[in-house]
Amino acid sequence: MTDHKHGKILIVDDNEDLLKAAKIFLKRHFAQVDVEKNPESIPALMANEDYDVILLDMNFTKDVSSGSEGYYWLQKILDIDPSSVVVLITAYGDVQMAVKAIKAGATDFVLKPWENEKLLATLLSSMRLRESRDQIQTLKIKNQEINQALNEKFSDIIGQSAAMQKIFATVERVAQTDANVLILGENGTGKEMIARAIHRNSPRKNESFVSVDLGSVTETLFESELFGHKKGSFTDAKEDRVGRFELANNGTLFLDEIGNLSMPLQAKLLTVLQNRKVSRVGANKEVPINIRLICATNMPLYEMVKENKFRQDLLYRINTIEVEIPPLRERPEDIDDLALHFLNIYSRKYNKPGLEINEEALAKLKKNQWPGNIRELQHTIEKAVILADGQRLKASDFLFFENETVLHNQTETLEDMEKRVIIGTLKKNEYNQKTTAEQLGITRQTLYNKLKKYGI
């Protein structure tokens, strides 16, 4: 019976002899068996432990056999945790009381004195029900993640350039393995799209692709977001939450902006990746995980390692294979196809069928340096479609500041460029952070982090 010793059982009954006998018997079959005489202690016990099954007496007052006390505490337990599995016990049971208990939310019903083997069978069956409920909750959320991935607007990667063809070949080879992948590239180059392409072409394609923007995850919520939490484990933990690692189990976990993690959070992430197990905040049980890890960043991780800003052992863990996406200015031959792709999308979205781009306009797009890369091109096309008053987009329909984007100083760093783009976009939007974040294609939290980083 050792394979069942992972369960946690709580027995609440006012009969001390029964508690002692039950504990001696059940400890041979379950990892933890707690006993309690006073039902008033139930809320405190549930706050400290996550029980698989609660075995609850129906009568705690001498000579009372109505079962009303049992129903009262059953409701209390379900109020604390609606997913609780409760088996009621009584010396005065009958069929009507059993039916009433089940209707009130109990999982099963046993009579005193019980037969040990029958009690054990009931508890094991009830524990499997609890595990099934947890699995169903996780599957529901995973299905939402899968559906969201399938409904992505721009699921196709576009690029005829030699650089992109080389990336496609790498993706095809790497996808069939479980190797960890690190995707490098400036903001807006399509790192997540490459990650999704790897997933779609992998043996895990029918499982979840779970994406996490680490730039928008605060230090305090990092563990809750990635590893999950139990209800009541901290002030705002109103219910159990499945972490991103569990959601991605058997699928792919994409950690974007991994370069933004602080050193303490890097250590926590490394521990999970090494042990292949996660423990929800407030829980003692570790959950094994089986994921394909893909990370991405626009930051110079190797320089950060030298400056002790990024852990070398974590870098070795995440970069079995590296894929570097070139910026759009280095592959202008892809701009025509990308522009027509976005034109098709937005002409349908804004009900402007038959819209075209003339050659002069395409030439203007190719001359632009696109510091915001594909994302900036996408927003530029969308704005042009919205403002268009004819059937052909002209060069004058594309509004970007050429003097800010052409022929940048070759010594300018990626961080300098990013800072300049953020400042320019803020100015264009009269320092409206919400609109600026939307145009840059990042979250408001990520924008806030970058404003703080660059002292803007």
DSSP per residue over 56-110, as a string? EES--STT--S-HHHHHHHHHHHHH-TT--EEEEESS--HHHHHHHHHTT-SEEE
Together in a domain, 430 and 350 = no
Where a domain ends, among 289, 324, 359? 324
**Residue 412 domain-assigned?**
yes
Give residue 104's domain range. 2-133
Residues with Cβ within 8 Å of residue 168, at least 6 apart in sequence: 157, 159
Together in a domain, 204 and 273 = yes
Together in a domain, 33 and 77 = yes
For residue 414, the 8-state DSSP code is H
**Residue 90 domain-assigned?**
yes
Together in a domain, 351 and 444 = no
> Residue-wise pLDDT tens for the chain (456 aa)?
344 477 899 999 988 888 999 999 999 999 899 999 999 999 999 988 889 899 998 877 654 456 677 888 898 998 888 888 999 887 765 556 767 777 878 888 787 888 888 889 888 888 888 777 776 666 666 666 555 554 443 346 788 899 999 999 999 999 999 999 999 999 999 999 999 999 988 999 989 999 999 988 888 889 888 998 777 777 677 777 888 999 999 999 999 999 999 999 999 999 999 999 998 888 778 889 999 999 999 999 999 999 999 999 999 999 999 999 999 999 999 999 999 999 999 999 888 888 999 999 999 999 999 999 999 999 999 988 988 888 999 988 887 654 444 434 444 566 777 788 888 888 887 778 888 888 887 887 888 888 888 878
pTM: 0.59
Q: Determine what percent of the chain falls in helix, strand and coil, rounding each to the nearest 5.
A: 50, 15, 35
Together in a domain, 46 and 15 = yes
For residue 300, whether the previous peptide bond is cis, meaning omega lies within 30 degrees of 0, is no
**Residue 223 domain-assigned?**
yes
**Residue 298 domain-assigned?**
yes
Contact 250, 293 (CB under 8 A): no
Tokens of 269: 């992430």
**Residue 386 domain-assigned?**
yes
At 36, which CATH number? 3.40.50.2300
- Structurally, the chain folds into a number of domains equal to 4
Give the SS3 label for residue 254.
strand
Contact 203, 344 (CB under 8 A): no
Together in a domain, 299 and 202 = yes
State the DSSP H helix or E strand holding residue 357, giving kind and residue range, or none if neither.
strand 356-357
Contact 19, 26 (CB under 8 A): no
Identify the bridge partners of residue 87 per DSSP, sorted by sequence position: 55, 108
Together in a domain, 342 and 415 = no
**Residue 210 domain-assigned?**
yes
Q: What CA–CA distance (Å, rounded) separates 246 from 266?
A: 19
> φ and ψ at 181, to 5 degrees?
-125, 135
Together in a domain, 176 and 280 = yes
Together in a domain, 385 and 413 = no
**Residue 138 domain-assigned?**
no
Question: What's the pLDDT at 296?
Answer: 97
Together in a domain, 30 and 119 = yes
Together in a domain, 91 and 156 = no
**Residue 144 domain-assigned?**
no
Distance of CA 214 to the CA centre of its chain: 10
Determine the straight-line distance between the first and last CA of the chain, rounded to whole angstroms. 63
Residues with Cβ within 8 Å of residue 96, at least 6 apart in sequence: none
The dihedral formed by the CA atoms of 199, 201, 204 and 208, expressed in degrees to the nearest 10: 40
Contact 68, 36 (CB under 8 A): no
Together in a domain, 338 and 315 = no
Q: How many CB atoms lie within 10 A of CB 230?
A: 20
